[in-house]
Amino acid sequence: MKRGFTLIELLAVIIILAIIALIATPIITNVVNDAKKSTAESEANLIVSGINNNCAIKDMQVQMGVSGASACSNSLSQSDVEAMVDLANASIDGSVTLENGRVTGITVVSNGFKVVMTSGTWAEPTKAS
C-alpha cells in the first residue's frame, strides 16, 4: 500500500491557504497604514515641539539681552524649520505660522501622509498626493 496525499487533498490545502491569504491581506494592509499614520502624527508632534522649544530659547535669549539674539517671526519657511529641527524623513509643505512663539499652523508630510495643524488644532492625517 502506497502512502501519500491525493491530488484532491493537496488542492484542498492550497484552496484553504488561498482563502486565509485573501482574508489576511487587507487586515495586514490596514495595520501597516495605521502604523504609517501614527508615525506621521508622531513626527509632526515632534517637529512642532522642537520649533516651540527653539522659539522659547530664542525669546529667552532676547529677554536676557544676548547679543545677536532674535525672536522667532510669525512665519517660518522650510529652511527656517530645518535650521531649528531635524526633519528626518518628513517635510514641511508651505510655511509655518506662529502666534506668541507657539506654532499654530503647519503642514507636515511624512510616510505618505499629510498632517495639518490649523489654529493650533491637528486634523486627521490624510494620504499625501
Does residue 38 form part of some domain?
A: yes
d(Cα 36, Cα 72) in Å, to the nearest integer?
Answer: 31
pLDDT in tens, the chain (129 residues): 678 889 999 999 999 999 999 999 999 999 999 999 999 999 999 999 999 999 999 999 988 988 888 888 888 888 888 888 988 889 999 889 999 889 999 999 999 999 999 998 999 999 987
Does residue 91 form part of some domain?
A: yes
Query: What is the number of domains present in the chain?
Result: 1
Q: How far is CA 129 from CA 24, 26, 91, 113, in A?
A: 27, 21, 14, 8
Does residue 14 form part of some domain?
A: yes
Q: Which domain holds residue 19?
A: 7-127
Does residue 2 form part of some domain?
A: no
Does residue 33 form part of some domain?
A: yes
Model-level pTM? 0.80
